[in-house]
Amino acid sequence: MTRSRLAVAAALAGALAVTACGANEQPQGAGQAAATRGGTLRVLSEGQTVNFDPAKSASLAVTSLALVHRRLTAWHNKPGEQAKVVPDLADVGKTEDGGKTWTFTLQEGLKFSDGTPITSADVKWGVERSFAPSVSGGLGYHKQLIDGGADYRGPFEGAELKGVETPDARTIRFRLVRPYGDWPWVVSTPAFAPVPKGKGAEPDYAEHPVASGPYQLAKYQKGVEAKLTRNPHWDEKTDQVRAGLPDEVVFQLGQDASVVSQRLTADSGDDKSAFGSSFVSAAQLAQLSGNASAKQRVVTSKSGALAYLALNTEKAPLDNPKVREAFQYAVDKTSFQIASAGNAQLAGDVATTLITEGIPGRERFDLFPAPPAGDPEKAKKLLAEAGFPNGLQNLDFLVAKTNNAPEKAQALQASLARAGIQTTIRTLDGDAYTEETSVAPTAKFDLTLASWQPDFPSANANIQPLFASSEIGGGGYNLSRYRNPEVDKLIDAAQATVDPAEAGTKWAAIDKLVLQDSPIVPLIYTRNSFLRGSKVTNLFIADFPAYPNYLQVGLTS
């Protein structure tokens, strides 16, 4: 159950460029007029592409892909509320054997954009298609869980996935290899969007998808534009998470971030009906500070991805838990905030837990109480007790060459030096960084800077990918190479728990147990800010995730 490399790259790129402006400290919707039906909404994107193939997508359930494709379940997320799973194409599922078998019933009357009925066979085909090597790259939480999935290679040569059953046109049943309480969340990921049985073998399906959501892809030109128009067969009465307000949604691709900020600040012409899909940088926020109109149009997350310092637990001296504990006190989180966004408030709150805000079951605690600027003397004491009275020398500090990550690493380097921990920063481009940290069976680095936002609103998605021993190397994201058989056992038990409250209690206990071993140093819960034009309304960021909910956005008349 490895998170896709694409998703992690996006998380790293995003969380390493965090900013904030306090807009969401106002009552939600303040300064945003009521939306009306109609108009053309424009999304200004730095990316050269936008991917509408559900098998290849790592899109969150509230962003671009969900405008075109529905899934079995969806997310209800609002500011001030914990996210919850809700029906989409189907109900939220039932299990009668403790979470090993899950059955979903589709709503009646659902249709694709070509007018054909959406059936359970189409959902099954979409899931099976996600296993085909030719369309790999999407989220894969389901691939090792569905019975038969470990060796399955997709449906294009006639093979069926035995763990997915469709006894009738509206019923789909998943037989898993083990009990899994978060399965209703997993079926909200892109692979559980329906694809008409028999379609999707063509390599350009992403440019000609058959839609189930409120919009269909009418035009696509890489690096230029993706234009969505209304799906005439979408029925809003069956959809509780998509408002479907604009007549068209146009993604303008390949836009320079600084130019996007300038255009939205100027707020003229079509840009009044646009918002930027990329974070507003600290420098751009500073420029906005003197523009009262633009400041009112910045929307900011309350919290966000966990930025953290990973310690390679396989390498001496970091294989010593007391040495790792010293890092908890050596790090100056305030200087990291300043390096991130200019000041502490803009960057995001100091982090002390692994589970991020807005996730059910999260508990607040601090096992290593220290001032935000750190306690270097305490760190030195712990190092001396561990047998290093002269500190640590020549630690390899690996950093991805993205955004201002090297500058953040330098801030951490300086604070570690106060505690007698000497490091050498080494930067790598994205692919080389991923190869060394995530793919290689062993790693030569000592420290690395990273971030993580879960793919669905469960502590499972916070903890399992980063700390299960199964996620070491081979494309996994246990960057600290952390192995603890007790933690692995507890992760399995928490994943098998169907009751959300009971599962949340178990995940909170795992959070504390992992942090007692100090495989990482939590730094901050990064904030993200986005800028909108004056006619864009109902653009909000819930407590989770730290991105706007595209599905509710509309325009004023």
Which residue range forms the structural domain that includes residue 508?
306-526
DSSP 302: S
Token pair for residue 446?
Answer: 């000592």
Q: The whole model's pTM is what?
A: 0.89
Cβ-based neighbour number of residue 158 at 10 Å: 5
For the chain, counts of helices (H) and of strands (E):
16, 20
* 261 belongs to a structural domain: no
Please indicate, yes or no, whether residues 43 and 175 belong to a single structural domain of this protein. yes
62 and 190 fall within a common domain: yes
The pLDDT value given to residue 53: 96
Work out the number of other CB atoms within 10 angstroms of the CB of residue 290: 8
Please report the sign of the dihedral spanned by the C-alpha atoms of residue 315, residue 320, residue 324, residue 329: negative
| Domain match, 348 and 483 both | yes
| Contact between 170 and 120 (Cβ < 8 Å) | yes
Predicted pLDDT of residue 76: 93
pLDDT of residue 31: 60
Whether 162 and 104 share a structural domain = yes
Total domains in the chain come to: 2
Q: Which residues of the chain have pLDDT under 70?
A: 1-31, 403
Side chain identity, residue 460: N
143 within some domain: yes
- Using alpha carbons, select from 14, 59, 550, 543 the residue that is nearest to residue 300: 543
Nearest to 47 by CA among 215, 208, 202, 260: 260
**Same domain as 158, residue 40:** yes
Tell me whether residue 298 is in a domain: no
Q: Does residue 149 belong to any structural domain of this protein? A: yes
Residues 202 and 218 in one domain: yes
Q: How far apart are CA 169 and CA 33, in angstroms?
A: 42
The answer on 546 and 467 residing in a single domain is no
408 and 420, same domain (yes or no)? yes
What is the amino acid identity at position 402?
Answer: T
Yes or no: say if 278 and 46 are a contact pair by the CB < 8 Å rule: yes
Q: Answer yes or no: do 468 and 544 share one domain.
A: no
According to the model, what pLDDT value does residue 284 have?
Answer: 82
- Residue 237 sits in the same domain as residue 321: no
Please count the other Cβ atoms lying within 10 Å of the Cβ belonging to residue 37. Answer: 12
Q: What is the CATH number of the domain that holds 358?
A: 3.10.105.10
Residue 178 forms part of a structural domain: yes
Please answer whether residues 538 and 15 qualify as being in contact, where contact means their C-beta atoms are separated by less than 8 angstroms.
no
Whole-number pLDDT of residue 10:
36
For residue 532, which phi and psi values (nearest 5 degrees)? -120, 160
Give the per-residue pLDDT at 279: 85
- Do 329 and 472 lie in one domain? The reply is yes
Q: How far apart are CA 106 and CA 96, in angstroms?
A: 18
In a domain? residue 288: no
**Distance from the first to the final alpha carbon of the chain:** 45
